[in-house]
Structure 1
Amino acid sequence: MSKKTSYLLGILLTIIIGTILYWWLCCNCCNAESCDHKKGDEKTIVETPNVMEATLNPFSIKDSDYALKSNDNFNFKDSSFRILEPVSEELKNAVLNLKTYFDENPSKRVSIAGYYTNEETNNSAYPNLGLARANAVKNYFVTQGVSSKIMDTEGELKDSMIADENKIFFGPVHYELFAVSEDDKANDEVLKVACEALKTNPLVLYFNTGEAQINLTTAQREKIANISRCVDKIGVKVLVVGHTDNTGNAANNVMLGQQRADFAKSYLIQNGILSTNIEAASKGPNEPISDNASEAGKAKNRRTVVTIN
């Protein structure tokens, strides 16, 4: 091989090695954006948050010869059974329209079902949050002149329901119109029996006067639901009576018993029983159910009894 050929091969080999080294150093030591071969391969991945749309249930109620719809409905915060204010004018007019329909069709009734989810906390006195919401809507209807006697309330689990970013449920309530049947009359008789049972086996609460919450058992929640139904359907009054033990001055104990009764009354009002349907009184130490000679007996006597009359 001639010197000239060797010289040319050396130059070519130098160019090849230099190109390889440049490529290698560029892609491993420099900014990745300076590598042309990576520019085409790299892709910017932007993750889109998985935001679920809030469930919207409009106010809708219909019968064979009647239909009423509003884009608005009663709204509730997550884990709450209090209607969010203000109620829209459109919804107010829809309820008044419904009242007119009932006035003209006395055989018609309405079932109000309140929805709730398993993720919510039931802070009401009712067996479930849906029933508490249905009772709140029922009470609003009552304020607009609709008789509580023509309304049935129930709670329904609906985990498919989605709140918005502010944890508001839009219209977690469903309505059904129906006509009075023989079955409904039979159910009324069953309710009357349940109401009579409350008189002999009332709801008894034990709590301290300063408490803001009453921890209820499942059986006690059912009793409050039945008390509410008895008030709505039969027109009875709720009687709340506070009792004390015999410690201290008798007159002061009567006052203490009244404070306990008033607190229980306030609790029932917060849970949807209208104040006009509740009477609160005190028996003080005058009707003990146990011996005041022991602490256990005194604890039993410090009670508030909720019944109907």
Structure 2
Amino acid sequence: MSKKTRYLLGILLTIIIGTILYWFFCCQYCSNNGKHNHKKHHLKTNDVVKPTVTKTPFLVNDPNGNFNIETNSSFNFKTSDYHVIKPLSPNLEDGLNNLAKYFSSNPEKHLLITGVYKEEEENHSAFPNLGLARANAVKNLIASRGVNYKNITTNSQLDNSLTADVSLVLYGPLNFNITTKDQQDTVNTKELEDQLKAIKADPLILYFDTAQVAIELTASQRQKVANMVDYLTKVDQSHIVITGHTDNQGSRETNIKVGQGRADFAKNYLMDNGIPENKIISTSVGPDHPIADNTTEEGKAKNRRVVVTIN
């Protein structure tokens, strides 16, 4: 093989090797870069979109009268809670005062407050659901401005689309409606009597363990509280009566104090749930009214109780 031939073969071999190396490195890079960009695009298109926070303004209008209030701020609550977050905004305070003036001049008007809640929220209130507990809390704020309790009704609504912010605050989970009561729309005395009899026949009974620090009601017990609050709203001179009972261990004097402590504990719980202090009477009879045999531990446990009813 001549020198010239070898020289040409060397050039050809160099071109072939260079082509192979170019394909291996450059095309692999392009291929991987394309996959990477596709992956990035895929991630972008599948990013989780954060839901819009629900913000309901304080909106109250009378379709049959010349009254309208709308403020961007409203009554706010923490998720799974029924306490209004304070302080209230100045605009909301002004709105409440204007609402009170309107009702003072128009006693035939009626306000329906509907509290909104989500099914996934934990209910630690004394009411059947957090919507009703929130509506009751706002009812008391409005009544404190001078609106008669008889002119306010509470209701609840389940809305699982309700969305809190990152701090778990729910903004304005309430709706308000004003109606005009008919002159013939009066409370039925017979219905009130039946309601009172039903409450007294089946009062709320709470049993206390030693060193108990919290009250957690069942669904049926919460309904009893709601029934009592409804009666309080309709009858001006009515009160919730809480009576503390004990077993017969120790002196009567000591047990009267223990029973009063249990009654006051239940009273504070109801007050925390928005029931006005002046509508609650707490008292104690100590060991004087047992419902079971104090010679057995089971009987003593039944006697350590608090009875909540209406007078």
Pick from 246, 252, 257: which aligns with 2:248?
A: 246
Distance apart, 1:296 and its partner CA: 2.2
- The separation in 1 between residues aligned to 2:224 and 2:252, in whole angstroms, is 31
| Residue in structure 2 matched with residue 168 of structure 1 by the alignment | 169
RMSD: 2.4
| Residue in structure 2 matched with residue 20 of structure 1 by the alignment | 20
Structure 1 residues not aligned, in runs of 5+: 29-34
- Partner-residue secondary structure (3-state), 1:135: helix
Identity score, percent: 45
What amino acid is aligned across from residue 297 of structure 2 in structure 1? E
- The separation in 2 between residues aligned to 1:192 and 1:174, in whole angstroms, is 31
TM-score norm. by structure 1 comes to: 0.89
Distance apart, 1:37 and its partner CA: 6.5
Contact 2:124 2:216 in 1 (8 A): no
Distance apart, 1:192 and its partner CA: 4.5
Distance apart, 1:97 and its partner CA: 0.8
- The separation in 2 between residues aligned to 1:165 and 1:183, in whole angstroms, is 49
Q: Give the direction of change, closer, same or farther, for the CA distance of 1:112–1:187 in structure 2 (3 Å limit).
A: farther
Distance apart, 1:77 and its partner CA: 0.3
Does residue 255 (structure 1) correspond to residue 257 (structure 2)? The answer is yes
What amino acid is aligned across from residue 304 of structure 1 in structure 2? V
What amino acid is aligned across from residue 284 of structure 2 in structure 1? S
| Residue in structure 2 matched with residue 208 of structure 1 by the alignment | 209
- The separation in 2 between residues aligned to 1:288 and 1:36, in whole angstroms, is 88
Question: Within 5 Å, which residues of 2 pair with 1:83-122?
Answer: 83-122=84-123
Distance apart, 1:210 and its partner CA: 3.0
- Partner-residue secondary structure (3-state), 1:210: coil
| Residue in structure 1 matched with residue 288 of structure 2 by the alignment | 286
Contact 1:209 1:259 in 2 (8 A): no
Contact 1:242 1:281 in 2 (8 A): yes
| Residue in structure 1 matched with residue 58 of structure 2 by the alignment | 59
Greater shift after overlay, 258-267 or 179-188? 179-188
What amino acid is aligned across from residue 144 of structure 2 in structure 1? T
Q: Give the direction of change, closer, same or farther, for the CA distance of 1:205–1:5 in structure 2 (3 Å limit).
A: same
What amino acid is aligned across from residue 237 of structure 1 in structure 2? H
TM-score norm. by structure 2 comes to: 0.89
What amino acid is aligned across from residue 24 of structure 2 in structure 1? W
Q: Give the direction of change, closer, same or farther, for the CA distance of 1:16–1:274 in structure 2 (3 Å limit).
A: same
- Partner-residue secondary structure (3-state), 1:21: helix
Alpha-carbon deviations, 1:30-62, whole Å to 9, x = none? Answer: xxxxx4675566424464442112101001111
- Partner-residue secondary structure (3-state), 2:122: coil
Question: Within 5 Å, which residues of 2 pair with 1:134-145?
Answer: 134-145=135-146
Q: Give the direction of change, closer, same or farther, for the CA distance of 1:280–1:37 in structure 2 (3 Å limit).
A: closer
Structure 2 residues not aligned, in runs of 5+: none
Q: Give the direction of change, closer, same or farther, for the CA distance of 1:300–1:42 in structure 2 (3 Å limit).
A: closer
- Partner-residue secondary structure (3-state), 1:196: helix
Alpha-carbon deviations, 1:196-223, whole Å to 9, x = none? Answer: 3212332111123632322322221111
Contact 1:113 1:153 in 2 (8 A): yes
| Residue in structure 2 matched with residue 153 of structure 1 by the alignment | 154
Count of aligned pairs = 303
- Partner-residue secondary structure (3-state), 2:231: helix
| Residue in structure 2 matched with residue 194 of structure 1 by the alignment | 195
Greater shift after overlay, 268-277 or 291-300? 291-300
| Residue in structure 1 matched with residue 275 of structure 2 by the alignment | 273
What amino acid is aligned across from residue 132 of structure 2 in structure 1? L
Distance apart, 1:63 and its partner CA: 1.8
Alpha-carbon deviations, 1:183-240, whole Å to 9, x = none? Answer: 9646785354212321233211112363232232222111100111111221211111
